[in-house]
Amino acid sequence: SAPLNPLRTINEEIYSFAELKQKEIDELKKLEAFRREFIADVSHELKTPIFAAQGFVHTLLDGAVNDKTVRTKFLKKAAKSLDGLDMLVQDLLTLSHIETGQIKMHFENIDLYKLTEEIFEQFEEKADRKEIKLSIEGSPRKVLVYADWQRINQVMTNLVSNAIKHSFDGGEVKVSFDISKKNIVTNISDTGEGIAPEHQARIFERFYRVDKSRSREKGGTGLGLAIVKHILDGHNSKAEVESTPGKGSTFSFKLPRVKPLEGGETEASKN
């Protein structure tokens, strides 16, 4: 073979090194842009409830406090804004804890049927107010998967909460499980406004909402689905959405199945 040209080799080395550095720089620039955008987004989201509460409190101080009906009304509105602020900060903390890995996952055998029953109990009142029926469809009494109970509780809570929020009055929110050999797919479906195809891919982004003002009015932080995405990431899974505008949506995610053995033992807990 031809003798090596040392100069050429060195040149190639330099080029590939420069290329590598450029990639690193691009990556850092992207991170920096992301960070800046995130801070801008968060500041904007924080400002909204602060601005509202501030307005009510100042109007009270300017004299409205002397009128008893106005006073109660404005205090209630200020309280609602502050509750929203509290929820937002809580969701931001959850998201940041998951992202920085401060939350250790505790994997164990968990029963999704029981979890769903517990979550439905918590939402009974909210569902009743809209006359929405909550049901678990055609499922065995025990649906065992290997997952972090607390985190999957959060995933299901966010999805069920959204399903109720976006359902029409008199509608139905159903949870069902597709059980296959190795996995279990959980489906949460609603009979609500649905999500247009162009929005479906984006709703998992932080602060992305199809209808900003309506979402805020309904008490949303815009972080619910971003949290769902991150938690499922930690389970090597992801949420899928199928939706027909005007009819409803189904959100689904897959988790590894644990088969119950005779005597109530389970495969993963056996050893």
CB nearer ligand ADP, residue 166 or residue 257:
166
Question: 164-193: which residues touch ligand ADP (CB under 6 A)?
Answer: 166, 190, 192-193
CB nearer ligand ADP, residue 49 or residue 224:
224
CB proximity list for 53: less than 8 A, separation 6 or greater: 78, 81, 82, 85
Residue span binding ligand ADP (CB under 6 A) among the ranges 14-22, 36-44, 146-154, 155-163: 155-163
CB nearer ligand ADP, residue 151 or residue 166:
166
Question: Interface with ligand ADP includes 230 (CB under 6 A)?
Answer: no
Question: Interface with ligand ADP includes 222 (CB under 6 A)?
Answer: yes
Q: What is the rounded CA–CA span in Å between residue 224 and residue 237?
A: 17
Beta strands in the chain (DSSP E): 107-111, 133-137, 144-148, 172-179, 183-190, 240-244, 248-256
CB of 44 to ligand ADP, least distance (A): 14
Q: What is the rounded CA–CA span in Å between residue 234 and residue 81?
A: 32
Question: Interface with ligand ADP includes 203 (CB under 6 A)?
Answer: yes
User: Is the separation of the CB atoms in 160 and 188 below 8 Å?
Assistant: yes
Q: What is the rounded CA–CA span in Å between residue 155 and residue 73?
A: 34
Question: 234-263: which residues touch ligand ADP (CB under 6 A)?
Answer: 249
CB nearer ligand ADP, residue 107 or residue 208:
208
Residue span binding ligand ADP (CB under 6 A) among the ranges 20-28, 111-119, 207-215, 254-262: 207-215
Residue span binding ligand ADP (CB under 6 A) among the ranges 56-64, 140-148, 176-184, 202-210: 202-210
CB of 117 to ligand ADP, least distance (A): 20
Q: What is the rounded CA–CA span in Å between residue 166 and residue 199?
A: 15
Looking at beta carbons, which residue is closest to ligand ADP? 220
Nearest 5°: the CA angle 50, 52, 57 is 90
Q: Which amino acid is at 160?
A: V
Residue with tokens 């029963």: 111
Residue 117, SS3 per DSSP: helix
Contacts with ligand ADP by CB under 6 A lie at 158, 162-163, 166, 190, 192-193, 195, 203, 209-211, 215, 220-226, 249
